Chain A
Amino acid sequence: MSGAVGEALIEVADVEKVFSVRRKAGRLRRVRQEVRAVEGLTFTVPRGEMVGYIGPNGAGKSTTIKMLTGILTPSGGRLRVAGLDPSRERTRLARRIGVVFGQRTTLWWDLPLKDSYELVRRMYRVPDAAYRANRERCVELLDLGPLLDVPVRQLSLGQRMRGDIAAALLHDPEVLYLDEPTIGLDVISKAKVREFLREVNTERGTTVLLTTHDLTDIEQLCRRVMVIDHGRLVYDGRLDGLRAAGEGERTLVVDLERELPPIDGLPGARTVKVAGPRQWLAFPAGQSAAPLVAAVAARYPLVDLSIREPDIEDVIARLYAGGVPGVAAPPAAGR
C-alpha cells in the first residue's frame, strides 16, 4: 500500500449532481424537471481514516458514493480519489477500491462462495501470495470457513454480507465504501462485521467511508461523521462534536437525601423532572458538568449522581428536521 497516512485520499470540492427528470403534466405533455441530488459538497478524507456518512433516505448518500466510484458523473465541481478522476478513470480506479452494497451482492448467486473469490482474484489480478493471505485472514475473522463450499443462494443474509465484505477486500483496496453493511443483520452478525471493519481500518490502514442508518455502527467505528441532508453537508466533524452541535443536552441525575422542591437558580441548568429524592437537570452538551456538580453539592444534601449523554439519534433527528439553526458544515480546519 502506497502513500502516507494523513495524505488526502478522497477530495471533493464543490461537487453537485443534477438529475433531469421527466414528469407527466397532462395527457401527453412531459415537463423536464431538474432535481438537485447533491450540491456544494466539499470534504476531504485523509488516508487511513474511517468516516461515517449519514443522512435520511434520499439525502444524496448513494449519489455521493456513486460519484466517488465513477459510475455517476458529477454535474459540477472537482472530485479525486487516490489522485484519479473517478468517472474518467473508472476501470483504473476500480482496481484500487472496494465497494459493498448491503442490499446488493457481488457474489455469484448459484455457485459456491469460493468460486466468487476465485473470480475476484482473476478480475483484480491479485498476486497468489497476497490472495491466499487475504482470503485466509477474511475467512478466519469473518468465520467463513464452513461457508466456502455453500452456494451463495443458500447463505443467510448475515453470512452473505460477510461473504460480500470479504470479496471487496481480497484485492487490498485503498478505499472501502460500505453502503449499509449491517442492514437487516442480527446483533451477533452486526458485531462481527463491525469488529472486522475496525480491524481492517486499524491493522491494514484501509480508508473506510461508511454509509448507514444504524447509528450504533457510527458510534462504535467512526470518530468523524459527516451528515448530509437535502444534498448538502450539514455537519462534518467529530462524533462527540455532533452532540454539542446538535444542541443536545446532557442530563445530570442527582439523588438527594430527601425529597426537596425542584433545584433552581443554577446557571445553565434547569430541572426537568422530579421523582421523590431524585431530580433530573438538563444542561447544554457543550458545557462542563464539573461546576454544576460542585454547585449542587455545595447547596444540597447530595447522595449520588450520574450523567447521561444526549442520545445521538435524537441529535440527528433534530439535524434532519432542520431544527438546529446555524449548524452548517464547519470549515474543515485542522483536517
Chain B
Amino acid sequence: MWGADTNDDGGGFNITMTQQSPATGSGMEPKQNTVMSVAISELLQSNEENKNTHVIVVGIIKQVEAQSLKNMFTIEDNTGRLVCIQWGDENELSRYPKLIENAYFKVVGSKRIQNEKVTLLCHSVRPLDSINELTHHLLSIIALPYQMEEVNMTSNAKLSITMTNHKEFPVNNDIGGGYMDSTNSLSLNPKQLKVYTVIKQCQDEAGYSASDIQKILPEKMSTTEIEKILSFFIEEGHIFSTIDENHYKVTDFGS
C-alpha cells in the first residue's frame, strides 16, 4: 500500500485535459483524469467541484482526528488550511502512512463541497521524502498558467487545421468519389456514413472527439446523436479510442 501510494502520484502533473481541446464549449465533460498542483487558496476560492481533476497539495499537517473508517486532518500551506478526509476500514487505515502533526506531507485528492464547505477526498497521503518536493510543488504551481497558455495555443492551431480540412471534406449531401465505396461496404445509414467519413478523414494521430466531429459535419447533428453513432461504431469495431475514451480513429486503414 505504501509502495503504491508513493508511486502513483509521481510528483508532476500531466495536462491531459488539453487533449479534449476543441471539445470545450460544447459542454461535454472531459472523462479523463487530470492531476495538478495547487495552492490551497485556489481550491477554497472557487466553487467548482470537478470530480475528474485531482489536485496535489503540499503542506504541514496541523490537526489529526482519527475516527472509525476515516481519518480527518487539516493541512496548511502558505495560503490556507484545508480539511482532508481519508477513508478506509481498520485494516487499510493501519497501513496508511502515519499522519504526523507539524510535519510536511503531500496529499493527492479531489475536491468535494458539502454544505458549502470544502474538503479534500484523499487518494494518497504521505510525508515528504525530501524538502525538494516543496520546491518542486511551488514551481509546478507557478508554471501551470504558462503551460495552460501553451496548451491552448497548440489546441487552437489544431482546431484551425481541422477547419481547413473541413473544406476539403467530401461530406456534403452528395457524398461522392471512390471513397464512398469503401465505407458503403459497412452498410451504414446516411448519418452514420457522414460521421464515419469525418473520422476517416482525420489526419491527426489523436483522432476526433464527438464535438470535433460535430464542428466539422456540414449538417447539424446533436452530440447525443453523434455519441450514439460512435458507440455503435465501437460495438461494430469500426473505430477505436485513441488518447482517451473521447477520441476515435477508424480501424480501417485501407484505401
A binds B: no
